[in-house]
Chains A and B, each alone.
Chain A
Amino acid sequence: RKEVEQDPGPFNVPEGATVAFNCTYSNSASQSFFWYRQDCRKEPKLLMSVYSSGNEDGRFTAQLNRASQYISLLIRDSKLSDSATYLCVVIPASGAGSYQLTFGKGTKLSVIP
């Protein structure tokens, strides 16, 4: 089983739609989780951290399900500017490699007018 798996998409959704992405991880001892956003031909940038209790930032909601080993990202009221690739990132448990982030391959979102 791959360490971090995402549905590559593409997800093509109309403006205003709600869209959700999931990401599964294999290491049950993983301690930190993030969503990054990457625009075409640009560098990835942190979108939001994912906390155990779930967290919300405007139209974006991130949740963690440790029992099923997945994290999710929900985008409400999609905007054209949300079109990008969304990368799931997992950091393993503490140790020598604890700062080695493991990236999913990304889910591509296209918001259509």
Chain B
Amino acid sequence: EAQVTQNPRYLITVTGKKLTVTCSQNMNHEYMSWYRQDPGLGLRQIYYSMNVEVTDKGDVPEGYKVSRKEKRNFPLILESPSPNQTSLYFCAVTDRLYNEQFFGPGTRLTVL
């Protein structure tokens, strides 16, 4: 079954404590993205990756890092989380042939 998985699904942490949200896909697609979703602001792209070792900033990259060392994984790193990063995060994989985007189940992050 084609899947995009994210871990953890829920996380409560404190300001400044580094954290990583993992994203993994078994669909063999090159293009992956991270989004955050906030009430009234919709989905906003944080970073994207067009292939291994190729990443670029989206619309709201400040405070985040990503890496793409292998095709299937695209972790999102918050080096020093702050309360304004409390949000619902989605990893997504794009099928570039059909331009369809498949989302992971989401990670609800709370930074105290």
Interface residues of A (CB under 8 A from B): 32, 34, 36, 41-46, 49, 87, 89, 91, 99-101, 103-106
The smallest C-beta distance from A17 to any residue of chain B, in angstroms, reads: 26
Query: Which 4 residue pairs are nearest across A and B when measured between Cβ atoms?
Result: A105-B42, A43-B103, A103-B43, A32-B99
A109 to B78, CA, bound (A): 34
Q: Quick check: is B74 within 8 A (CB to CB) of the other chain? A: no
- The contact string, 1 if C-beta is below 8 Å from chain A, for chain B 81-103, is 00000000010001010111101
Given the known inter-chain contacts A42-B105, A43-B90, please indicate yes or no for A99 contacting B42, CB distance below 8 A. no
Interface magnitude class on chain B: 20 to 34
Report yes or no: A46 in contact with B105, Cβ–Cβ below 8 A. no
A100-B50 in contact (CB<8A): no
- With beta carbons under 8 angstroms apart, the residue of A42, A87, A99, A106 that contacts B99 is A99
Given A43-B90, A99-B96, residue A104 in contact with residue B103 (CB < 8 A): no
The residue of chain B having its C-beta at the shortest distance from the C-beta of A44 within the complex is B103
Chain B residues with Cβ below 8 Å from A99 are 31, 48, 50, 94, 96, 99
In the complex formed, the residue of B with least CB distance to A32 is B99
Give min CB distance, A7 to chain B, whole Å.
13
Q: Given A34-B99, A43-B90, A99-B99 in contact, is the A105-B104 Cβ separation under 8 Å?
A: no
Bound CA–CA A106/B41 (angstroms):
10
Pick 23 A–B contacts, CB within 8 A, sort by A: A32-B99, A34-B99, A34-B100, A41-B106, A42-B105, A43-B90, A43-B105, A43-B106, A44-B90, A45-B103, A46-B100, A46-B101, A49-B98, A49-B99, A49-B100, A87-B42, A99-B96, A100-B33, A100-B45, A103-B42, A104-B42, A105-B42, A106-B42
In angstroms, Cα B43 to Cα A45, docked, is 13
